[in-house]
Amino acid sequence: MFLALIRKQLKVLWRNPQELLLLLLLPIILINIIGFALGSLMGQDSEAIQIDVALLQQDDEQQGLQAFVETMALDEEIEARLVDMLPISMLVDNVFKDMEMQELLTVTKLKPNELEEARSKGDYSAIIEVPKGFTEAFYMSIFAGGERPNLQVYLNDDKEITASVIQRVLDSYQYQYSLMTQLASNGYLLEEVVLPAIEIASSISTVNEKEPISTSAYYTFSMSVMFILYMAGTIASQAYLEKQMHIFDRILLANMQPAIYLIAICMSTVILSMLQVFILFVVAHFMFDISFTNAPMYLVVTFMLALVVGTIAALLSALNYRINSAGASNAFSTTFVAILALLGGSFFSFSSFAPTIAAIGNWTPNGAALQSYLALQQGGTFDQIASYIGILGMLAIVCFIAAFVLFPRRGGVA
């Protein structure tokens, strides 16, 4: 009987292909329109770019140079030439303080105890950390073949454009410095000092160790988690039609428990919702070249989101039966979905300018699922989405309990 109820729900919706096409075609159209429109706007903003860079220099260049000179027993003439090659001073004075760069770039020096706070706030496009002993290790790598020193560069993934500019500047500086030392090693620049080629190795990472997300990918996920909510209102409306057509009365005569009926509504919604998201993701993969490298984790998130949508469908069905109208499902589809979509970040992300609203949105089913998808798209693990999975599970339990409590024992008023 339980499987028969699920088949019945699926057949009822299958006989209304217009609603199915609306739930599938409309999000694809919106992803195209919004993705291309916002992509163009982002490109126009690049003319007014402003880059904020933080420099944490834990190494004293003069002390490092002096320690190297004493270790290698170099004369004053060579020491004077090495002063002109101080790597961080050259980066700041010759690159960051260039007249053209100063119009775009502001450099702020940090203290060691300010690093973690600067990373967490995300005010800077990039943070460059110069570790202790960098200068001495740098010169040792040139003259004594020692291990190459490393700079730690943290790029802010919330400021993708400006962070990419800084990365290009650093890559260019590394290339030019390596070229200069290569020329010096062949006697073209400093005949008195023999310098083998050297590269300044740098470890570059984003502040939160995340890969940037394209506009198309963001709106693929945001539209998917929004339109899956409409499935709940659609199924609940179909369930209420069963009452009007006295189909539910025949179910009661078969001595069917209300919980079984609600579970059947829930599971049929889960199946249709997962199918809906699967089709959207397949289309997005071929149309927008969006990859899903960790497919099992995407499946887990989709199932949990579909489970919440299923319990919402059961809750709306219970409300429809109790008030003896389709008002609950209609109000949900016309009003509450839009509110949930706004809070959950389906239209735009609140994280950069309204963190409180963003935190509230993470407690919505679509918001929690969206954050999970975005984390997975950036190479996240289960630990990073476990809290969102927990929110989805809790919402599913609460909605189903509410549906069971509100559902009339005998189906309500006939």
The pLDDT-based confidence of 411 (bands split at 50, 70, 90) is: very low
What's the chain's average pLDDT? 77
* Other Cβ atoms within 10 Å of 85 Cβ, number: 20
Residue 371 has what pLDDT?
Answer: 92
Q: State yes or no: pLDDT of 152 exceeds 60.
A: yes
Q: What is the mean pLDDT of residues 154-172?
A: 76
- Range 118-129 average pLDDT: 85
* Better-scored residue on pLDDT, 243 or 285: 285
Strand-pairing partners, residue 243, are: none
Q: Are strands 105-109 and 126-130 parallel, antiparallel or unpaired?
A: unpaired
d(CA 67, CA 62): 9
CA distance 74 to 69: 5
The closest of 133, 171, 261, 157 to 205, measured between CA atoms, is 157
Say which CATH topology domain 49-206 has. Answer: abc type-2 transporter like fold (3.40.1710)
The DSSP element (H or E) to which 90 belongs, if any, is helix 87-90
**What is the pLDDT at residue 385?**
92
Q: What per-residue confidence (pLDDT) applies to 397?
A: 95
Question: Is 80 exceeded by the pLDDT of residue 21?
Answer: no
pLDDT number for residue 159 = 74
DSSP string, 286-347: HHH----S-HHHHHHHHHHHHHHHHHHHHHHHHHHHHHTSSHHHHHIIIIIHHHHHHHHTSS
d(CA 265, CA 318): 11
Put residue 16 in one of left, alpha, beta given phi > 0 → left and psi -120 to 50 → alpha: beta
Q: How far apart are CA 236 and CA 217, in angstroms?
A: 30
* More confidently predicted of 403 and 350: 403
The pLDDT of residue 197: 43
Give the pLDDT confidence of 391-401 residue by residue, as tens digits. 999 999 999 99
Contacts of 2 (CB under 8 A, 6+ apart): 260, 263, 264
The better pLDDT of the pair 286, 24 is held by 286
Reduce the DSSP state of residue 109 to 3 states and report it: strand
Domain boundaries, given as residue ranges, for the chain: 2-39+213-406, 49-206
The pLDDT-based confidence of 46 (bands split at 50, 70, 90) is very low
Q: Is the dihedral of CA 95, 97, 101, 105 positive or negative?
A: positive
The DSSP secondary structure of 242-281, one letter per residue, reads: HHHTTHHHHHHHTT--HHHHHHHHHHHHHHHHHHHHHHHH
pLDDT higher than 80, residue 321 = yes
Give rounded-to-5 percent helix, strand, coil for the chain. 70, 5, 25
Residue 45 confidence (pLDDT): 40
Q: Is 55 helix (H, G, I), strand (E, B) or coil?
A: strand
pLDDT tens sequence across 362-377: 999 999 999 999 999 8
Instruction: State CA 408 to chain mean position distance.
Output: 42
- Best CA proximity match to 238, nearest among 307, 308, 306, 321: 321
Task: Please report which helix (H) or strand (E) contains residue 201, including its range.
Answer: strand 201-206
- Of 187 and 237, the structure prediction assigns the larger pLDDT to 237
Summarize pLDDT for 341-355 with one digit per residue, the tens: 889 888 777 766 677
Q: What's the confidence (pLDDT) of residue 387?
A: 94
Please give, one letter per residue, the 3-state secondary structure of 125-180: CEEEEECCCHHHHHHHHHHCCCCCCEEEEEECCCCHHHHHHHHHHHHHHHHHHHHH
pTM for the predicted model, two decimal places = 0.58
- Tell me which of 5-14, 61-70, 345-354 is least confident: 5-14
pLDDT, mean of residues 167-196: 58
Regarding predicted confidence, which is higher, 140 or 40?
140
331: left (phi over 0), alpha (psi -120 to 50) or beta: alpha
